[in-house]
């Protein structure tokens, strides 16, 4: 009898590793959990490899460094004629304000970070820009003075392309955290209810943080606002699953242009595997777009825990590729 995901999760102790264990059983690949909640060994055709959380043997040191440092990713992709947002390192609040005055619609984010922490989108004035810079600086993982990046805001929706070798094995539209009104509860209560649903789906909660408060302020409402029945309120600009976002599977509607772009982006930084974030206003045809960043050890959950459409067991083609190519 086939195991459930919950059983794999209990065995692995890690949400991402659990998907790889399930895929290994489907493919007939032997595995052993070496360190619970962290690492497993996989064996096939007299070869073996390890997966540590989300890290696979497909990513090398140089490509990892490029992907981790958002400014390097931007430079490498630009050099390879791949569309990217205009970007600038910001050393202080004064430079942040200058960048804001130049581009108006901007993003301020740490040069190195995980899960969208420290990212502020579309500050509207001097006060918000200074606050965004301080927030990014505090959350940055960078060890040198290049801690914060100013970036041109690209209009459109955010899509994650999971690339393995010469193939795109998963595409999801990423939607920012939101609530839908019922005409009775205020936004704070709606968030509490939504977080119960997310917990049941093994997803992280929507946090009421600086970005949510800024977003509501920009909408001229507060946490006490009561949305009307079926009124949707987008709570943040950031669309990470870890900050309350949802995903919609959209492979069938995606134009080949974007798939080729994602594959080219992964190859440009010198790796075989990555999660490519592309922003475009229309996924069905080639229009002005940009590659926002590349994740060197992408999580798989956003392809399995889709809010709309069918989930894609992306761990299967990833393991198949590793077994054939390492």
| DSSP secondary structure string for all residues of 286-321 | --S-EEEEEESS--SHHHHS-SBS----THHHHHHH
99-138 pLDDT, tens digit per residue, is 999 999 999 989 887 666 788 888 889 999 999 999 899 8
Domain identity same for 74 and 138? no
CATH code, domain carrying 283: 3.30.470.20
Domain boundaries, position 133: 86-153
Domain identity same for 159 and 30? no
Q: Can you give the pTM of this predicted structure? A: 0.86
Give the integer Cα–Cα distance in Å for 103 and 95: 12
Domain identity same for 123 and 192? no
Domain identity same for 161 and 70? yes
* Average pLDDT of the residues in 243-272: 96
10-67 pLDDT, tens digit per residue, is 999 999 999 999 999 999 999 999 999 999 999 999 999 999 999 999 999 999 999 9
Q: What stretches of 118-209 show up as alpha helix (H) in DSSP?
A: 126-139, 187-200
- Residue-level pLDDT at 115: 64
Domain identity same for 160 and 264? yes
Total number of domains in the chain: 4
Domain identity same for 115 and 14? no
145-170 pLDDT, tens digit per residue, is 889 999 999 989 999 999 999 999 99
Phi–psi pair at 247, nearest 5 degrees: -130, 155
Give the integer Cα–Cα distance in Å for 82 and 74: 9
46-61 pLDDT, tens digit per residue, is 999 999 999 999 999 9
């Amino acid at each position: 009898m086939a195991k459930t995901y919950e059983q794999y999760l209990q065995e692995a102790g890690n949400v991402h590793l659990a998907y790889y264990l399930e895929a290994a059983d489907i493919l007939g690949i032997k595995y052993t959990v070496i360190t619970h909640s962290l690492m497993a060994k996989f064996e096939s055709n007299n070869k073996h490899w390890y997966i540590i959380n989300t890290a696979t043997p497909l990513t090398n040191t140089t490509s990892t460094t490029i992907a981790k440092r958002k400014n390097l990713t931007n430079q490498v992709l630009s050099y390879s004629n791949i569309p990217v947002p205009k970007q600038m390192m910001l050393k202080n609040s004064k430079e942040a304000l200058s960048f804001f005055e130049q581009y108006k619609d901007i993003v301020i984010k740490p040069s190195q970070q995980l899960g969208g922490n420290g990212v502020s989108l579309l500050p509207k004035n001097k006060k918000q820009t200074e606050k965004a810079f301080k927030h990014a600086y505090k959350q940055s993982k960078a060890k040198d003075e290049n801690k914060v990046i100013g970036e041109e805001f690209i209009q459109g929706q955010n899509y994650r392309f999971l690339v393995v070798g010469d193939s795109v094995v998963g595409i999801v539209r990423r939607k920012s955290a939101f609530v839908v009104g019922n005409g009775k509860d205020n936004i704070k209560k709606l968030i509490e209810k939504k977080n119960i649903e997310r917990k049941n789906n093994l997803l992280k909660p929507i946090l009421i943080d600086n970005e949510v408060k800024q977003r509501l302020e920009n909408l001229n409402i507060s946490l006490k606002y009561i949305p009307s029945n079926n009124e949707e309120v987008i709570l943040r600009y950031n669309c990470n699953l870890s900050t309350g976002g949802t995903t919609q599977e959209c492979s069938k509607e995606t134009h080949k242009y974007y798939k080729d772009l994602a594959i080219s982006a992964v190859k440009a930084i010198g790796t075989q595997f990555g999660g490519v974030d592309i922003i475009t206003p229309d996924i069905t045809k080639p229009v002005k777009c940009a590659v926002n960043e590349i994740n060197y050890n992408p999580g798989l959950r956003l392809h399995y825990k889709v809010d709309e459409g069918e989930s894609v067991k992306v761990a299967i083609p990833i393991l198949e590729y590793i077994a054939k190519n390492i």
